[in-house]
Chain A
Amino acid sequence: MIGFVLRRLAALVLVLFCVITVTFFLIRISPGGPFDQERKLPPAIEKALLAKYKLDGSLWQQYTGYLGDLLRGDLRLSTKYRNRSVNEILAQTLPVTLTLGATAFVLATGLGVWIGTFAAGRHGTPGDTGAMLFALLAISLPAFIVGPLLILIFGLTLRWLPVGGWNGIAYLILPAVTLAAPYVAYIARLMRGSMLETLNQDFVRTARAKGLPDRVVVYKHALRVAILPVVSFLGPLAANLLTGSIVVETIFHIPGAGGFFVNSILNRDGFLLGGVVIVYCAMLVLFNLIVDVAYTFIDRRISLNG
């Protein structure tokens, strides 16, 4: 167990190193510097600027310098939002993104598992068909369609919920629903399929034969086994939610890290861009490790040796 975690931590460091290297060179090969303007800057000023933002020296020197700074936990300065460090920007925006992401995460897994179990229990009935049709619809609708339509309906026409911004629980509802909707549907389908398979297995038949009530059979015996495919989807789910939050934050004007990410691409703000990518990847890789470890606690049949 401990050996597994250690090996995975080593792999994690390797993955992060690759991510950092790829990101760094992708940013540096893009033509045009962050200080390119219509009017050429005087050489002395440009030199001072480049030195301040540590963009001088050869590419190799810049790369090793950046790695060194990252090791010290310094994500450097933003070249667009002058005098603000990337650490500072992320400290302000990341909690917002994480709140949104976590809410959508809980919503997607909780609701998805429940709907999937519900549909499997009523297999072949109109309730099942309806739930699955609804799920297919939700999967086909990306956030950038659902979000604006929800704003149009609940924000502008009915005026029940705020249309955007970030100011308390009410502001969280529409974005979280928009972000979670396709994944609620995806997990519901995953859960239904695996539950249908599990309900046909011998141990479930035994449980039923003992005369246990249906509720106990499904939720206590079958659910523990049937939920495994959902657990292994949690890693990709987190990655998708983090990517999806970029567009949801844009739609609902939420001051999260996603908006800064998009702007950093448009502004050629290299270190801010790199900071967001690296922090996102670090969080996801760590989360995947946690999921893998949690997997063994749910399913004792799995031995860790990957």
Chain B
Amino acid sequence: MDDPRIWLRLRRRPVVWFSVSVLALLAAAAFLLPWLLPADYREPSSLQLAPPSLAHPFGTDLNGRDLLYRVLNGTQISIVVGLAGAAIALFIGTLYGMIAGYAGGRLDAAMMRLVDIFYSVPRLIFILVLINALNEWVKDFAAGLGWEWLVLYSRIAILIFSLGFIEWLTMARIVRGQVLALKNRTFVTAAVALGQGHFRILFRHLLPNLLGVILIYLTLTIPAVIIDESFLSFLGLGVEAPLASLGSLLSSGASAINPIKSSWWLLVFPALVMIFLLLSLNLLGDALRDAADPARNR
């Protein structure tokens, strides 16, 4: 990643410009636009299931709430969960991969075998059970301390931690592979010869060389966490009302289409926002990976 040509290669690709501007636009809209909308958009009104119009560009839902406002809020939650969850996954995965790769030998083999096993069990299913087991506890705990905000956001907090906890596997594999390749290079040998400790070698010498790879896989972990969160919310087991993420909006949108009367806008608008969000994140991650390793994409 310290290769300056990477940025040149990146700047030449229109895909990068496309995805960065879509992401910037979505983030700006999600975090700024809700403040600019009229205050009564936030409240339920008597205008139920109104199709898109000038006053309500995305239409309204069953309770007469403005869908644009709800979609923007949902995007906000999805982005925050995606970023925070990916950060946790990055922390666990990097530490795990660095230890496995640096230790090598039997410990490495055992740690990677564990990762293989985790890959092949339905992790999301365990997380579902875990979230529901912990939610009441955290709520009681927060209420006991008088933390009102945590009572409301307890489920999101648990979601972030548990999703970070299941999406670290790929990061661990990649980091380990990179450490294996790096640890036989001369600068590491020199550090060992100078008598530096393991801790110092890991964090002062190896970590800076890993940052590029970590950044690339962070871009690819964010959409994975967003998809997981929406999966849970779609099943009604993720973000709880009155909060709504893109997944819960999609879920109510999916139940709003039927042969008799389809309120298509409830499905189509959240779906479009989600598609643009995920597609541009994946495009950006792919472009970063190709630029850092041009041999991959001959």
Contacts and interface: CB of A to CB of B under 8 A. Distances in A.
B231 A142 contact: yes
Given A238-B120, A239-B119, 20 more contacts: A23-B126, A26-B126, A26-B129, A27-B133, A29-B133, A31-B137, A141-B275, A142-B227, A149-B268, A152-B262, A152-B264, A156-B262, A163-B259, A239-B123, A246-B125, A261-B125, A266-B236, A273-B129, A284-B120, A284-B121
Contact of B282 (A140, A193, A236): A140
A83 to B, nearest CB: 24
A83 B120 CA distance: 33
10 contacts: A140-B275, A140-B279, A142-B274, A156-B259, A235-B119, A239-B120, A239-B121, A250-B235, A277-B122, A284-B121
Interface in A205-264: 235-236, 238-239, 242-243, 246-247, 250-251, 261-262
Interface residues of B, number: 49
Interface string A15-26: 100010011001
Contacts of A151: 254, 257
Contacts of A19: 121
A277 B132 contact: no
Nearest to B247: A144
Nearest to B226: A142
Q: Which of A29, A147, A163, A265 counts the most chain B CB atoms within 10 A?
A: A265
Interface in A119-146: 123, 136-137, 139-142, 144-145
B257 A277 contact: no
Contacts of B124: 243
A285 interface: yes
Interface in A146-190: 147-149, 151-152, 156, 163
Contact of B271 (A148, A239, A246, A273): A148
Contacts of B227: 142
Given A32-B136, A152-B257, A193-B296, A136 B119 contact: no
A136 B282 contact: yes
Contacts of A236: 119-120
Given A30-B132, A145-B250, A243 B117 contact: no
A22 B126 contact: yes
B60 interface: no
Contacts of B286: 136
A43 interface: no
A144 B125 contact: no
